[in-house]
Amino acid sequence: MIKTPVCDLVGIEYPIFQGGMAWISDGTLAAAVSNGGGLGIISAMNADAEYLRGEINKARELTGGKKPFGVNIMLASPFADEVAQVAADEKVPVITTGAGNPSKYIEMWLKSGAKVMPLVASVAMAKLLSRTGVSAIIAEGGESGGHVGELTTMVLIPQVCDVTDLPVIAAGGIADGRGVAAAFMLGAQGVQLGTRFLAAEECSVHRNYKDKILKATDISTTTTGKRLGHPVRSLKTPFIRAYAKAEYDSSISNEELEAMGAGSLRLAAVEGDAEKGTFLAGQIAGMVNKEQSAAEMIKEIFTEAEVILRGANQWVK
């Protein structure tokens, strides 16, 4: 069995979080992960308060109100203020944040009794947020899908661990027991996985999206969006190749570029549109090859991690 302080902090069996993926991480997926012994997280994405409240209720219903779960607040969302309020009003047990600095909401969330865990992609952000009363730091390397920073998980995790006394949860590039064991060796006390859970039976993302993840190889993803200052990792599809070309084309304005990508994530996740969709995925997609229930995934990952961590001793002479 693998137990870390993160398990006690959140009240979960395995120190694993399911990342808040826009258009994908709904109440159903979050509940499946929480029922499987991890921490399921609902993505508040760019949606409004009503949407989030609905998904929170769904997760509560599906877990019988007995399991903790989280909500991810995307700080760049136009509805950030109202969904931040909903998370507090609904007394969501864990609140994670992405795409920015959550400082202005932290006091309200702590008052609501939530454990707050911001996602960081640099050492300075980890330092800054560690003293705001948050419970843990999620450090995400650029191997992950969606919005990404430059640093890799391998480089980021030990440096973040060096500047904070809080538990660190490693994210980006982890999909199996080997990744979990490696993250622990770097100093993390928990992991957050996104791409692997795309293949969960309880994940309601469009069939085409799932199939693309299952078929992906090690070189299937790329990052685009650097020109607009928001690099994003996704599968290399004809649309993404065309977009990447457009980024280098100075005759195309930033506004045109922005318009080209608008709404493409919804098209991928909801419509399964292989032509115009953006299929966000981590580099690890090449290792996600089978559909399973979320509970089976978690069990398999930690059984494997346990064997590896015990075996690590063999090299110490």
Site for other proteins in 223-262 (CB under 8 A): 229
Chain Cα centroid distance, residue 149: 13
Q: Return the number of the residue (101 or 292) whose C-beta is nearest other proteins.
A: 101
Task: Provide the 3-class DSSP secondary structure of residue 289.
Answer: coil
- 127 scored as a contact of other proteins (CB under 8 A): yes
User: Which of 46, 85, 101, 222 is in the footprint of other proteins by CB under 8 A?
Assistant: 101
Minimum distance from CB of 135 to other proteins (Å)?
Answer: 18
Handedness of CA 288, 294, 295, 296 (dihedral sign): negative
116-124, 173-181, 249-257, 287-295 -> range binding other proteins (CB under 8 A): 116-124
35-43, 86-94, 124-132, 169-177 -> range binding other proteins (CB under 8 A): 124-132
Q: Return the number of the residue (101 or 135) whose C-beta is nearest other proteins.
A: 101
User: Which of 66, 111, 131, 207 is in the footprint of other proteins by CB under 8 A?
Assistant: 131
- 103 scored as a contact of other proteins (CB under 8 A): yes
**HSE toward the beta carbon, residue 213, CA cutoff 13 A:** 29
Q: Return the number of the residue (80 or 305) whose C-beta is nearest other proteins.
A: 80
The count of residues in the chain is 317
Distance CA 114, CA 128 (A): 19
Closest among 143, 131, 146, 54 to 99, alpha carbons compared: 146
- 128 scored as a contact of other proteins (CB under 8 A): yes
The site for other proteins, by CB under 8 A, has a size of: 15
User: Which of 83, 94, 125, 288 is in the footprint of other proteins by CB under 8 A?
Assistant: 125
Distance CA 134, CA 141 (A): 20
CB atoms within 10 A of CB 230: 14
Contacts of 80 (CB under 8 A, 6+ apart): 73, 74
Q: Are strands 232-235 and 146-147 parallel, antiparallel or unpaired?
A: antiparallel
- 121 scored as a contact of other proteins (CB under 8 A): yes
Q: Return the number of the residue (78 or 311) whose C-beta is nearest other proteins.
A: 78
User: Which of 3, 78, 91, 104 is in the footprint of other proteins by CB under 8 A?
Assistant: 104
Helix spans in 45-194 (H): 49-62, 80-89, 103-111, 123-130, 153-163, 177-185
Closest among 162, 161, 143 to 153, alpha carbons compared: 143
**CA triple 131-134-136, angle to 5 deg:** 105
Answer for the pair 89, 118: CB distance below 8 angstroms, yes or no: no
Minimum distance from CB of 211 to other proteins (Å)?
Answer: 35
Minimum distance from CB of 278 to other proteins (Å)?
Answer: 22
Minimum distance from CB of 101 to other proteins (Å)?
Answer: 6
Q: What are phi and psi of 129, to 5 degrees?
A: -85, -20
User: Which of 20, 70, 98, 149 is in the footprint of other proteins by CB under 8 A?
Assistant: 149
2-10, 18-26, 128-136, 191-199 -> range binding other proteins (CB under 8 A): 128-136
Q: Return the number of the residue (66 or 131) whose C-beta is nearest other proteins.
A: 131
Minimum distance from CB of 133 to other proteins (Å)?
Answer: 12
User: Which of 48, 60, 85, 100 is in the footprint of other proteins by CB under 8 A?
Assistant: 100
Q: Which residues in this chain contact other proteins in the complex, by CB under 8 A? A: 100-101, 103-104, 121-125, 127-128, 131-132, 149, 229
